[in-house]
Amino acid sequence: MADSSVSYKCPNCGAPLSFLPGKKTVTCEYCSTEFEVSAIEELFRDKQDMAVHAAEAQEAKWETENAGSEWSGDEAAALHAFTCSSCGAELVCDENTMATECVYCGNPTMIPKRFDGMLKPDFVIPFKKTKEDAVAALKEFYKGHMLLPSNFTANNRVEAIQPMYVPFWLFDSKITARAEFRAQKIRKHSHGDEIITETSHYNCRRSGTMSFEKIPVDGSKKMADDYMESIEPFDYSELTTFSAAYLTGYLADKYDVSAEESAPRADKRVEASAIDVLQSTVEGFDTCSLKSSAIRKDVGKVEYAMVPVWILTTRYDDKPYTFMMNGQTGKVVGSLPYDKTKAFLYPAICSVILIPILYFVILALIY
């Protein structure tokens, strides 16, 4: 990292700054802004420091090898696996449960196969919501949407309601976050017939440590990431040590996205939140923007959990609509179709009503 020929740049305009030894201040030749030499030196020391930390941060990895565990022989023997002949989904259930049709595509031909290649989850959040709860919650979800086609509720057929344990990686991390912010203090005062605006620029450096616990990232390719992020949050107080007994009566999806592959999704969220935390400590300024950041994982632990989800598939106008319900909290997520006529008509009515109002508002502002 030894960068001996430090090239100082003007923080205001980016032009190269050259300064004479022994002088306390330096003036940019291009934008004529004056700086304290010490401030410029500090700024560039910080910049190099940040580069070192950014490199470190890149190297820090999650300890994924401890996520999940091996099944004992008895446990494995009691589990069955099925493959969907149509979409290739692999589902797992215990010996008392039959996989009759694919949760994802509705295909009724599920081919039994030998159970293997799946870690034993560390935790499970048991199902709390029943099928009746799911149906009622979906009905409730339809309400209050102005653009819903009038015949949607009547004509939409619920094709399948399936409960499923979805594999999730739960990321725990303790991080050291560093960030540089550019902040401004703006002072305005009038002098004679002029308004003088003084904008003072500051470089604000922050670093700190913080911990995140159990950021959930689903390990299923077939489950859309945005749906799985939308059914959050879960109540972790009900998180219990996994036992195959919880699978009775339910299907479980086998993870097909490894913890390593899922980690970037957790990293991105941690980074955004860590920067938010640091930025919230930049106080007393009028503006503040992020200049650079480096987030280093000091501890990065991953656990493997099964999370309950109700998958509701409906059909309307020959198109399938999928809704998901958090099997613990009952939160329903999904996208409803909208009536094109209503989507045109309602805003058009609003616009037509607004025209005379706005006309008189504009007249009142002119005269």
- Positions touching Zn ion (CB under 5 A) are 10, 12-13, 15, 28, 30-31, 84, 86-87, 89, 102, 104-105, 107
Among Zn ion, another protein, none, what binds residue 194 when CB lies within 5 to 8 Å by partner kind?
another protein
Contact call for residues 204 and 288 (beta carbons, < 8 A)? yes
Choose which of 42, 159, 286, 298 interacts with another protein (CB under 8 A).
42
For residue 64, what are the contacts with CB-CB under 8 A and spacing of at least 6? 258, 259, 260, 263, 302
Phi, psi of 245 (to 5 degrees): -60, -30
Rounded-to-integer distance, Cα 323 and Cα 313, Å? 6
Closest CA to 269 of 167, 349, 175: 175
Q: What is the DSSP string of 45-85?
A: HHHHHHHHHHHHHHH---B-TTSSBPPPHHHHHTEEEEEET
Specify the residue, 76 or 336, whose C-beta has the smaller distance to another protein: 336
When CB distances are held under 5 to 8 angstroms depending on the partner's kind, the choice from Zn ion, another protein, none that residue 19 binds is none
Question: Does residue 209 belong to the site contacting another protein (CB under 8 A)?
Answer: yes
CA–CA separation, 348 and 116 (whole Å): 58
Which among Zn ion, another protein, none contacts residue 104 (Cβ within 5 to 8 A by kind)?
Zn ion
CA atoms within 13 A on the CB side of 318: 0
Give the span between the Cα atoms of 262 and 256, in whole angstroms. Answer: 10
Query: Does residue 296 belong to the site contacting another protein (CB under 8 A)?
Result: no
Distance CA 251, CA 329 (A): 19
Query: Which CB sits closer to another protein, 112 or 233?
Result: 233
Assess 47 for contact with another protein (CB under 8 A): no
Please work out the total of residues on this chain that contact another protein, with binding judged by CB under 8 A.
83
Whichever of 72 and 211 has its CB closer to another protein, that residue is 211
Does 178 bind another protein (CB under 8 A)? Our answer is yes
Site for another protein in 266-295 (CB under 8 A): 266, 268-270, 272-273, 276-278, 281-282
Q: What does 107 interact with, of Zn ion, another protein, none (CB < 5 to 8 A by kind)?
A: Zn ion
Considering only the stretches 109-117, 127-135, 220-228, 293-301, report the one whose residues sit in contact with another protein under the rule CB under 8 A. 220-228
